[in-house]
Every structure is written in structure tokens, then in C-alpha cells.
Amino acid sequence: MVRTKEFEPSAALEKAMQLFWRKGYERTSINDLVLAMGINRGSIYDTFGDKHSLYLQCLARYSDIYISQTLAILARQLPVYATLDRLFSNVVELVHEDGCNWGCFMTNTSTELALHDEKVAELVTLNFERLEHGFTQFIEHGIHSGELRSELNPQALGRYFTNAFSGLATLAKTNLPPPFFKDAIQSTLSILK
């Protein structure tokens, strides 16, 4: 007879994602995961596989939640400048939510693991490519609607904003004052004017 799980896998995965996001891959032990997820070691392995497999599932969950939210906002094709200003401000606010200063999980992963872990690098690259594509389409819409100048290069701007988005998420982990971020965002968006 098959035993039923005594825990909700998606809730346990959320707890693991929060732990990896806060501590990183290398600094998170299986014992840390057991405590954070509230399940035993065997249940972790049976449900999610080894630590690396669990980490990849956490990255996928982060992508499903946070990257997808950003892409959904860009897909709405709202006023360009105001939408980008809000998106970039949200990055800084999310990092400072509850005083966490965890940064962007995807950006953190790119600096911790992507250089020496092929599977992680593929997932991180895919997510940044998705973000680039979202920004590119958003700029294309702004050009077609007449809100932006026709001579702008949507793909170059998509890459530019992806880079700025990741950079802001990284710098937001520091103790730089709010005016720093306000000026950085305004300067970033000035390329559209």
C-alpha cells in the first residue's frame, strides 16, 4: 500500500526556495532544508530528489512566480515610461521587503553557480532571455503605438533593460540610500526620451 504524503509538496518547495534564496546553494545544508521545509530527509529525496534537483525546482518556481509576473506586466502594454519606472522600483522594493535584502534569486544564482553548473546556467540564461524578450516586445509596442521614437532599437533596449533590471536587484542588496536607486532608475529610463 502506498503511503500518502503528510505534507503539501508546493508549500515545502516554497519554503526551500525561500531558504535557498536567502542563504544560497552552497551555504544551505540538507539539515537546513529539513528544518525549513518541516519534512524529513527521506521525504525530500523521495519527492524532490537530491539537493541539486531541489534547487533547480526552486529556480523554476521562482521563474514561474516572479519572472512570469514581470512578463505579465510587460505584456499588458501599458504606458511605457510609467510601467518601466514601476517595474524597476518594484525590484528595489521587493529586495527590501521585510528587511530581507535577499536580492533577485535568479541574479544571485547567476553569480553563485552559473559559471560552473551547466544545468543552472541553462535555466538562468533562459530566464534572462525571457526577460529580454518581454522588454523587447514591450518597446516594440511602444514604438508601434507612437509613444516611443521609431528609431529606437527594441532588441538593444530589451538587452539594456534586462541588464539594468539585474543590476538594480544586485545593488538593492546593499545599504545604498533610496535616492541612489531613484536616480539610477531615472537615468536608466532617460534613454527612452
Q: Is 96 exposed, middle or buried (0-12, 13-18, 19+ CB in 10 A)?
A: middle
Residue 26 C-alpha cell reads as 552552497
What mean pLDDT comes out for the span 39-60?
96
Domains of the chain: 60-192 (1.10.357.10)
pLDDT in tens, 89-111: 988 887 666 566 778 899 899 99
1 pLDDT above the threshold of 80: no
Tens digits of per-residue pLDDT, 151-171? 999 999 999 999 999 999 888
Q: How confident is the prediction for the chain on average, in pLDDT?
A: 91
